[in-house]
Amino acid sequence: MVKSKVISILQVSPLIIIFIFFFIAPLILTVTVSFWDYSDYALIPDFTFRNYHEIFEDCMIDLPDLCVTFKTYLSTLKFCIIVWILTLVIGFTIAYFLRFEVKTMTVQIVLFLLCTIPFWTSNVIRMISWIPLLGRNGLVNNFLLNIGLINQPLEWLLYSDFSVILSFVYLYTLFMIVPIFNSMLRIDESLLEAAYDSGASGFQTLVNVIIPLCKPGIAIGSIFVITIIMGDFITIGVMGGQQIASVGKIIHVEMQYLQFPAAAANAVILLVVVLLIIYVLTKIVDIRKEL
């Protein structure tokens, strides 16, 4: 019946409108602008490959030396992988503890809420609050100096790779904990008992039963963490003392110089890279089981 079709369309339309305005349209706009030309003071609607050309300029010729684009991507990927491993290990451990070691549900909920308390403040404040802690005159250095462990303040605590990774892990471990915890909730206790009955040690149970059943949760958490880090420029910027390059930073800088077509082209490339990573992840693990 026509009427029911109209009603169905009306019911879906709010979501579709939001989707179009806030996702599809900006995406199309970005891709379009990435093919525009620009001069020092104006955007020139055009269809040119200039921006993509400039991104990969000399990239092939310079090999084995890396061009700027490759170097930046590599640097960002490096952070991505290190942070991914750390958040995975820490997140899995915490989720495991919450699920299997905590006996009552009340304590489980309370501890879970405790983990989310940091999110009650802004991301930026959570990040820059590390500075008074790690700085040359910060709490950590003063403490170590006072107990005599070191003679001079440690320079590498702040504005370094270390502080960037620390910040990322602190900010985003919860994104690993939640999906993995969710996966673990679906693991019945009787499965663990059956494994124990079959002669599996604690470690064997972990490797043969728990981890395989957590794969969807791990994949979802990984997607969260990887996507966020690949596009980040604030955390890397602030915690790296504006000395460390990132793909997001390139886009940000180009936008500041009003070189929107170049920024758009970089954004498109970044999108493609992240989509590739996610595609590979979903091929390894079937996420639909979780949804």
Partner 1 sequence: MNHTGECKLINLSKYYGGNVALKKIDLTIPAGQYCCLVGPSGCGKTSTLRMIAGHEVVSDGEIIIDNLLMNNLGPAERPTAMMFQDYALFPHLNCLDNVAFSLKMRGMKKKERHEQARSLLELVHMEGYVKRFPNQLSGGQQQRIALARALVTNPSVLLLDEPLSALDPFLRIRMRDELKRLQQELKMTFVHVTHSQEEAMALADIVVVMNLGLIEQVDIPPKVYNHPATEFVARFIGGHNIFASKAVSNKNNNCTLHGTGQCQYLLPTKINELGSQIVFSVRSDKINLSPMKNKFGLNEIPCLVRSVEYQGAWTKIVLDAEDAEELIVTLSEDDFNANPIKIGESITASWNKLDVIHF
Give the binding site for partner 1 (CB under 8 A).
Answer: 188, 190-191, 193-201, 204, 208-209, 212-213
Distance CA 109, CA 208 (A): 28
The burial class, CB within 10 Å (0-12 / 13-18 / 19+), for 262 is buried
CB of 69 to partner 1, least distance (A): 41
Q: Give the Cα-Cα-Cα angle 123, 127, 129 (nearest 5 degrees).
A: 120
CB of 40 or CB of 197, closer to partner 1: 197
CB of 176 to partner 1, least distance (A): 20
Tokens at 65, concatenated = 């030396």
CB of 123 or CB of 204, closer to partner 1: 204
For the chain, count helices (H), then strands (E). Answer: 16, 2
Residues in the chain, total: 291
CB of 148 or CB of 212, closer to partner 1: 212
CA-closest candidate to residue 221, choices 185, 182, 189: 182
At 240, the amino acid letter reads: G
CB of 121 or CB of 201, closer to partner 1: 201
Q: Considering only CA atoms, give the Rg of the chain.
A: 24
CB of 201 to partner 1, least distance (A): 8
- Please report how many Cα atoms fall inside a 13 Å half-sphere around the Cα of residue 10, on the Cβ side: 6
CB of 110 to partner 1, least distance (A): 23
CB of 197 to partner 1, least distance (A): 5
Strands 37-38, 43-44: pairing is antiparallel
CB of 4 or CB of 190, closer to partner 1: 190
CB of 87 or CB of 205, closer to partner 1: 205
CB of 99 to partner 1, least distance (A): 17
